[in-house]
Chains A and B, each alone.
Chain A
């Protein structure tokens, strides 16, 4: 027994030595040792990025599984999802996980983004982290938009129609881009093929690359500390180690999030509407996913013409202003002016309140 035990120890040491001689393990170990997480009353928001990353993992796994049975062909797409839902072992579960996972991921990203915004984590030197995060958000919304069409049911058809028509209204490149995405003037097989390729090939590559950069930047700069914490004298600042303390808490939170996801998936499996008919009327009461409800409701309210511009173009431009402000906020609120900082915070609250308010209104109306 003893000799057996020591033999194994020798083997393990051999493996460790083998790796250490070939990879910069010491550097990584040092990095892991140094990485620390500030402890303050807002620390809870630090978990959101991790939750999003975990949910992203679920999306990759379930997405790959779905591709085995999904057929991106206009006459078979809807039927292949029906088959997944009704005949394939655990098919309904995998698909529901993917749909619910996507929704929770978007939710986690919104919370992650707004918490970074309000903690002013976009300030120097973290501008690149902030911008890469915004781009990742856009990529994830594009995932949602392209994935939504693939089951080819009634709602997915009209959601795509509206989305591409909005793109078409954009000045200059709008028509060319929407024509290319749609593969013509109307939504056809060409659109399904294009959205499928974007959803399973282009966006994943972009996402993995950009996420790598985002996470790298987080390691370079360390975890952002809110102003109130930064001002404290050093003896009053407390930290915990990332490895293993925060890491294990992270895993615990992941387990909780997975439970929420599995609960939703099992208790309310994702449905499938009737097959899309490009020549039928839009069904009464049609609504987009919750994360597009706010712009949906907003577009409803705008009159046909606002001055010389068409209402929807005006609405789209107005909504783009929000995006521009989010991109430009590191320049505006760079930490040198208190009043600018306050303005940025108030703007954030207004946008958040607007998003929540319009979403609820859209859901109820």
Chain B
């Protein structure tokens, strides 16, 4: 009776010294009465006895818990990945949803008479905005109207005789599409212009 009581009380009161659970309350020092090292070391508190780390049996116990911890973390990550992948896929729409619009290769913009010299006109070219310009010499030019800076839609400005982006003030040459002022890093992509039956027709270059 008294043995039992003391073995229950002591570890609670003094958790620091390693205590064998073999029915005795004395700390296991390796050569005690609890019947040998191996049965004691299983219950050793590693913080209290650093030498226990050197014990082979103890290593096995540690690596098992370590394994469980890693396996748990791995499972969580795996589950997270498995859950996340379909969400990302779900939110990424299939490419070419506006395939029909992207297929467009030429557009009839307007009659020649509707675009006097020194003016420009924005229009839709399939899936993107475009601009056509009739310059002072009566030459026609057409470009993709997406600003190469941050993607706003550019327009022809009669007062400046250039292509202008209202968002950050970028300017392009009206006959070549070359970026000439402001932040745009690249020229506008050029489109082909032709006059067919007195109508302006723009097509992919």
Contact = CB atoms under 8 A, between A and B. Distances in A.
Interface of A: 158, 161-162, 164-166, 176, 179-180, 183-186, 188, 190, 194, 278-286, 296, 299-305, 310-312
A179 B88 CA distance: 11
A279 B153 contact: yes
A281 B166 contact: yes
Given A176-B92, A284-B164, A303-B183, 7 more contacts: A186-B127, A190-B93, A281-B122, A281-B145, A282-B154, A286-B167, A296-B168
Contacts of A285: 166
A282 B163 CA distance: 12
Contact of A279 (B97, B122, B166, B185): B122
Q: Please tell me the size bucket of the interface on B.
A: 20 to 34
Given A161-B151, A281-B154, A299-B168, A180 B92 contact: yes
Enumerate the 5 nearest inter-chain pairs by beta-carbon distance, A residue then B residue, closest first: A281-B155, A279-B124, A165-B151, A304-B185, A282-B166
Contacts of A165: 150-151
B165 A304 contact: no
Contact of A162 (B88, B129, B152): B152
B152 A280 contact: no
A362 B13 CA distance: 71
A43 B145 CA distance: 53
Given A180-B88, A281-B122, A312 B150 contact: yes
B133 to A, nearest CB: 12
Given A162-B151, A162-B167, A179-B92, A304 B97 contact: no
Contacts of A164: 151
A305 B185 contact: yes
The residue in A161, A176, A179 that gathers the most chain B C-beta atoms within 10 A of its C-beta is A161
Contact of A284 (B93, B145, B151, B166): B166
A220 B127 CA distance: 55
Given A166-B150, A300-B169, A282 B123 contact: no
A283 B98 contact: no
Nearest to B167: A282
B129 A278 contact: yes
B149 interface: yes
B93 A162 contact: no
Contacts of A179: 92
15 contacts: A158-B152, A158-B167, A161-B151, A162-B152, A166-B150, A180-B92, A184-B93, A185-B127, A280-B122, A281-B145, A282-B167, A286-B152, A299-B168, A310-B185, A312-B185
A301 B165 CA distance: 14
Contacts of A299: 150, 168, 183
Interface in B155-172: 155, 164-169
Contacts of A185: 127
B139 to A, nearest CB: 21
B88 A282 contact: no
B141 to A, nearest CB: 16
Nearest to B124: A279
B193 interface: no
Contacts of B128: 186, 279
A302 B170 CA distance: 11
Contacts of A305: 185
Interface in B105-159: 122-124, 127-129, 131, 145, 149-155
